[in-house]
Amino acid sequence: MYRQHPNWWFLILLLLFSSGIGPIRSITARASLENSNASLNRETPNYLANRNFRKGLTKTFSASWSNVEIRSIIQRIRSTQNISIILDRRIDPSLKLKLDIQNLTLEQGLKNLASQAHAKTVLVGSNVYIGPEKAVSNLKTLLEIRKQELVDLTESHPRLKRRFLFLSQRKTFHYQDLDQPSEILEQITDAYQITAKNQDLIPHDLWSHSTFTSVNATEALSLLLIQLNLTYRWNAQETQIELIPIPASVTITKSYTPRAKSVAILINQLKERFPDIEIRRAEKTVSIRTTAEVHEEIEQHLNPKAAINKRKPQSINAVPIQRRKFTLRVKKAPILAIMNKLEASGIEFHYNAKQLQEAGIDLNQLIDISVKDASAGTFFDSLFRTLNVSYAIEGTKIVLTPK
């Protein structure tokens, strides 16, 4: 898949010191510089991020191309829609497409584009990643696994809370034509004060320019490494990662509680609809091990209304939590009910229900709360004051962990 070239530096010298050699070509068949001019000094684009990114994907989009290379189509959409699109290096950038998009959302239009390249899309940070179907499935699952690893480490070592918040900060990484993946990794690790083991697993390769827009450490590392069929493990201090090949099977375990049906009935239904999943039965719950994509289907199967609501675009009010003011006055209201109301305004809560339950944390606990024009910190301190939980605010997300 990768062709190593010991004299890649010689191409750089030619580019810098020669004036008549014409366009510089990539030394690898997969790099997206073939038949295009290389540039080493592109400015970092100011792509839409966070709420504006999500709004941009919902806009109506119409365009038509015939026999046009996929890289040219993507570059056109990037520049006209101001959206970051990352084309996996394993997809031939010179692939010519015939594509007609009429009155679709931009997000659906990009899904149609990916389909023609026998690929799929996934949203990561404020980016649309387009990659092979297997890579997209692995990326979705690995993102959940790595995120949970950080949460678990922080829960086990409360002193790491500040470190966790630092790794959750959103940053933008831009790389130029002819940059190597090892150089992009260095950008990310330097920004988050991380060291990386097993860097010899990264092949010598030259990439076309792109941008990871508004990503946290987990998302940035995953977007880079997925294209090299690699992932990573954290050390106990959250200061070092060990690069490792992606396993043949990438799955994650989640627990589900049946609603108005027995555990046995639920297991039979799930086995019939999802025959390849691994199921373990507990007294009142079932634990299922499968990919993140299949978990999404299971959640939709178990709670169709919630799944439909989850797919709806976030409202215009989904501004970063730290920029909001909160006014609320209730008596003897379940904390979970208040959280559900907040989710309707674009706030997302992330937590491991099983961990909270094992820690004796009951989100249905009744509380009284009375605040007016309160800051985010004051409001959520009041909301969770009776629970033994820590919370971290990340854009429009709140991550809950047991203290």
CATH number (domain holding residue 300): 3.30.1370
Same domain, 383 and 330: yes
Q: Quick one: 86 and 128 in the same domain?
A: yes
pLDDT tens sequence across 77-126: 999 999 999 999 999 999 999 988 888 899 999 999 999 999 999 999 99
Query: Strand 171-175 to strand 96-105: parallel, antiparallel, or no bridges (unpaired)?
Result: unpaired
Q: Which amino acid is at 107?
A: E
Integer Cα distance of 13 and 38 in angstroms: 14
* Domain end marker among 285, 311, 337: 311
Q: Which amino acid belongs to residue 233? A: R
Q: Which of 172, 182, 157, 159 is nearest to 216 (CA)?
A: 172
Query: Can you give the pLDDT at residue 183?
Result: 94
Do 168 and 211 sit in the same domain of this protein?
yes
For residue 118, the tally of other CB atoms under 10 A from its CB is: 10
**Is 263 contained in some domain?**
yes
**Of 31 and 293, the one with more pLDDT:** 293
**Domain stop point among 245, 263, 295:** 245
Query: Are residue 238 and residue 264 in the same domain, yes or no?
Result: no
Q: Residue 258 domain-assigned?
A: yes
Same domain membership, residue 259 and residue 241: no
369 in a structural domain: yes
Query: Which amino acid, residue 48?
Result: L
Tell me if 152 is assigned to some domain: no
Q: How confident is the model at residue 16 (pLDDT cuts 50, 70, 90)?
A: very low
Higher-pLDDT residue of 259 and 154 is 154
The alpha carbon dihedral of 274, 278, 282, 285 has a sign of: negative
Pick the closest to residue 71 from 221, 177, 230 (CA basis).
Answer: 177
Judged by phi (left if over 0) then psi (alpha if -120 to 50, else beta), residue 198 lies in left
354 and 397 together in one domain:
yes
The answer to the question of residue 285 being in a domain is yes
- Are 239 and 300 in the same domain? no
Q: Quick check: 91 and 70 in contact, CB under 8 A?
A: yes
Least confident of 23-32, 75-84, 169-178, 367-376: 23-32
Say if residue 123 is in the same domain as residue 182.
no
One domain for residues 56 and 72: yes
| CATH code of residue 394 | 3.55.50.30
- Do 239 and 263 share a domain, yes or no? no
* 338 falls within a domain: yes
Q: 45 burial class (0-12, 13-18, 19+ CB within 10 angstroms)?
A: middle
Same domain, 63 and 129: yes
Give the residue from 224, 245, 266 where a domain finishes. 245
Query: How many angstroms from the chain centroid is the CA of residue 92?
Result: 23
Q: Are residues 260 and 234 in the same domain?
A: no
154 belongs to a structural domain:
no
Number of domains in the chain: 4
Residues found in the chain: 403
Q: For 282-292, what is each residue's pLDDT tens digit? A: 777 888 888 88
* Predicted local distance difference test score (pLDDT) of residue 161: 86
Of 16-25, 119-128, 236-245, the poorest mean pLDDT is in 16-25
What is the rounded CA–CA span in Å between residue 101 and residue 79? 17
Is residue 396, in this structure, part of any structural domain at all?
yes
Q: Where are the beta strands (DSSP E) in 284-379?
A: 286-290, 326-334, 348-350, 366-374
Distance between CA atoms of 225 and 215, rounded to whole angstroms? 14
Domain hosting residue 280, numbered range = 252-311
Question: CA 313, CA 298: separation in Å to the nearest integer?
Answer: 21
